[in-house]
Amino acid sequence: MSTAVSPGHRACLGCGEVLGSRLALEAAGPNIIVANATGCLEVTTTSYPYSSWNMPWIHSLFENAPAVASGIEAGLKALGKAGIRVIAQGGDGATADIGLQSLSGMFERGHDVLYICYDNEAYMNTGVQRSGLTPSLASTTTTPTGTTSDGNRLPKKDMVAIALAHGVPYVATASVGYHKDLQKKVQRALTFKGPKYLQVHVPCPPGWGYSSSSTIDVAQKAVQCGLYPLVEFELGQMTSARKLNKRIPVDDYLRDQSRFRHLFTGAAARQGIEVIQAIADANVRRYGLA
Amino acid sequence: MKQLLEGSAAIAEMVKLCRVQVVSAYPITPQTHIVEQLARTISGGELQAEYVNVESEFSAASVVLGASAAGARAYTATTSQGLLLMAEVLFNMAGLRLPVVLTCANRGVSAPITIWNDHQDAMTVRDSGWLQLFAADNQEAVDLHLLAFRLAETLRLPVMVCVDGFILTHAWEPVNLPSQAAVDAFLAPSAPIALLDPARPATLGALAEPDSYMEHRNRLFEAVEGSMQTMERLQQDFERQFGRRHGPTAGYRVDDADVAVVAMGSLNGTIEEAVDSLRDDGQRVGSLKVVSFRPFPAAELRRDLGTVRRVVVLEKAVSMGSGGILSAEIRNALYELPSRPMVKSHVVGLGGRDVTVRDVREMVLSTREDAPLFFGLRQPTAVEVS
Ligand SMILES: Cc1ncc(C[n+]2csc(CCOP(=O)(O)OP(=O)(O)O)c2C)c(N)n1
Ligand SMILES: [Mg+2]
């Protein structure tokens, strides 16, 4: 098989996550074992007796992919099997919420595992509920807009900082909108021994409410407005940050997505957008993206 | 007045009418529609309550534990993997005697992963000290939630209302929702006690040494077992006020039956149709629905099944290495009878496999005692074999 993830799966048209995973695992090359958390990526690709995965691949539960990967790594070590790379992957909910404890343990123990988080910014598999990586003011089914709510009140959890605080030797963000950068980062990550954390922004047409032909465009806009900085840290030092060569206001990114529609209507309309613009501006300053 | 509602919407509406004060939940199919509607109800200002979005079911259960200990009426909902992840908290909550109500939108457990219905999730925590009530249809699901809050707060025990995932949660049925005044008349508008209260400092969750642990566990056992009396009294209250009754067991054409089909949950609708068709064929068949699995209605089963020759149990869960769970408990209850019916168990409907009227007829009519435990297994497909 020439591709890491075979077609014929059940993901939606324009799914950023399955695309992101295919790109990442193809970059990783042969001789890998993958541990996958529960989520869209797993559900849409493994309807028994079929599977899209062309490598040894295991799904156990929603919250334990990092620990399962830790066990695979330990098992390979015990068996003296060298040269096989272990990759764990999951959605933003699996990573930042229910599996965070498991991920922290994997980081802390220093397992030689690349963990990839496919960040579509909500629990998509169960119908667009809020996760810790849902951005501020996005409407989800558990943070609906209403008389007492403007959508998600909480900020997006800073997983990069959390990984760095664990002393993880390679930490980076990427986007399906920039596939060469994504693949380069996977390959770079695998040159490090120990835990690696890569967070990939993967737009979701039904979850965000935009046309399924625009996934790449939406992903690029997220980067170009400063809301999704593409950064890279090696041994705790920032080694790259993608400059915003075509910087756009956040409006241009938010406007096409129904999860932000409420920010464009009503009396207090501009307020929410200003809050989000301030988040983008802070990212630009923090990582020197201008 | 009857309204046509999705099961999940009807349950969420009843939970709102019960004036819950804290809702905490974590999304999992097929529970999501219930908690999403509650989130909308709260963010829309229709219900004054705290909705706590958490990072796991473990935390959802722990949040409602804390809220209940602080004296708030607290509610959560989950299923399957989520219920299993809550298991440690569930045992703890029962031991702490906290009157939380939980909806379990019953679903099978992994591996292999399934999102579809069976009862393995709820049956796996049957020893926790929670009361467990199984709804056969959406009217029963709605009514059992109201009853559950009253039972929980009267007994100081947590109550799980089990509702078949998809089959009930996603089915649109006409449902009678009581008025707010009627609900308030049955269930006091706020929870009765705050265990954590600076006015009366108390220690919860103390360490029990071997000289007291058994007594604590015995008190919990007696509370759950003895809850049948309270259940009976509250069922009467409920019937007086609303004209409907929900168990602990309910028979259908079973009084003069030779054969009784026993099951929990939505299977009972199919079974009752099969009973009618078998009666049309001249078979003396009836059925018995078990609504309350905890407390287990042993005396009621002896009363209802004492005169039948054969009991056919249709069950959606299995104890690996042993057999059907409901049937084992029924046999245990009937063992005390001077003359006991045969009890045949059929494991059916796992992971959403459909159970039809024809299947039920076949199980009733077959008298093979050595029939396999799992009913209706299929041959592997060509792809599976290859
Ligand atoms: C313990 C447990 N709780 C809840 C679920 C239900 N569940 C399955 S996938 C999922 C959401 C996945 O979200 P994310 O990790 O962001 O991945 P996505 O589907 O968005 O790609 C949930 C809530 C589960 N399988 N197990
Ligand atoms: Mg997600």
pLDDT digits (tens, 9 = 90+) for A221-276: 999 999 999 999 999 999 999 999 999 999 999 999 999 999 998 767 789 999 99
Q: What is the C-alpha separation between B75 and B9, in angstroms, rounded?
A: 15
When pLDDT is cut at 50, 70 and 90, the band that residue A1 belongs to is very low
Residues of B in contact with A38 (CB under 8 A): 81, 113
Distance from the Cα of residue A219 to its chain's centroid:
12
Among the partner-chain residues B27, B55, B381, the one whose CB lies closest to the CB of A142 is B27
pLDDT (0 to 100) of residue B257: 98
| CB contact (8 A) between residue B39 and residue A144 | yes
Q: What is the largest CA-CA distance in chain B?
A: 70
When pLDDT is cut at 50, 70 and 90, the band that residue A148 belongs to is confident
Q: What is the C-alpha separation between A246 and B124, in angstroms, rounded?
A: 56
| CB contact (8 A) between residue A145 and residue B29 | no
Average pLDDT, chain B: 96
Among the partner-chain residues A63, A96, A148, the one whose CB lies closest to the CB of B45 is A148
pLDDT at B279 over 60: yes
Ligand nearest to the CA of B78: 1
- Reported ipTM: the value is 0.89
Ligand nearest to the CA of A61: 1
pLDDT at B266 over 90: yes
Determine contact, residues A157/A103, Cβ cutoff 8 Å: no
A268-272, B224-228, B281-285: least confident range: A268-272
| CB contact (8 A) between residue A144 and residue B85 | no
Name B244's Cβ contacts closer than 8 Å, sequence gap at least 6: B139, B143, B238
| CB contact (8 A) between residue B40 and residue A144 | yes
Ligand 1 pocket, residue A96 CB under 6 Å: no
A149 touches chain B (CB under 8 A): yes
Provide the percentage of residues in chain A whose pLDDT is more than 70.
Answer: 99
Name B260's Cβ contacts closer than 8 Å, sequence gap at least 6: B251, B254, B285, B286, B287, B288, B304, B305, B308, B310, B311, B312, B341
Residue B280 has phi, psi (to 5 degrees) of: -60, -30
The stretch B9-18 carries a mean pLDDT of 98
Ligand 1 pocket test, candidate residues B33, B80, B90, most atoms within 8 A of CB? B80
| CB contact (8 A) between residue B45 and residue A146 | yes
pLDDT at A33 over 90: yes
Domains of chain B are 2-241 (3.40.50.970), 249-365 (3.40.50.920)
Closest CA to B143 of B269, B34, B291, B263: B291
pLDDT (0 to 100) of residue A240: 98
- Kindly report, residue by residue over B52-77, the tens digit of the pLDDT: 999 999 999 999 999 999 999 999 99
- Kindly report, residue by residue over B158-186, the tens digit of the pLDDT: 999 999 999 999 999 999 999 999 999 99
Peptide bond into B111 cis (omega under 30): yes
Closest CA to A198 of A159, A160, A177, A172: A172
- Kindly report, residue by residue over B191-217, the tens digit of the pLDDT: 888 999 989 999 899 899 999 999 999
Average pLDDT, chain A: 96
Helix %, strand %, coil % of chain A (to 5): 40, 20, 45
Determine contact, residues B283/B364, Cβ cutoff 8 Å: yes
pLDDT (0 to 100) of residue A147: 85
- Kindly report, residue by residue over B79-126, the tens digit of the pLDDT: 999 999 999 999 999 999 999 999 999 999 999 999 999 999 999 999
For an interface test with B, give the residue of A57, A130, A141 to mutate (most B CBs within 10 A).
A141
* Integer CA distances (angstroms), B306 to A8, B247, B274, B313, in order: 56, 18, 22, 15
Question: Which residues numbered 77-96 in A keep a CB inside 8 Å of some CB on B?
Answer: 96
* C-alpha count within 13 angstroms, C-beta hemisphere, residue B33: 18
- Kindly report, residue by residue over A84-120, the tens digit of the pLDDT: 999 999 999 999 999 999 999 999 999 999 999 999 9
- Ligand 2 centroid – CA A190 distance (Å): 24
Name B106's Cβ contacts closer than 8 Å, sequence gap at least 6: B79, B80, B117, B118, B119, B121, B122, B162, B163, B164, B165, B265, B316
Q: What is the C-alpha separation between B243 and B143, in angstroms, rounded?
A: 11
A153 touches chain B (CB under 8 A): no
Strands (E), A92-179: 113-119, 145-146, 149-150, 170-175
pLDDT (0 to 100) of residue A2: 66
pLDDT at B28 over 90: yes
How many helices (H) and strands (E) are present in chain B, helices listed first?
13, 16
pLDDT (0 to 100) of residue B45: 95
**CATH number listed for the domain at residues A16-287:** 3.40.50.970
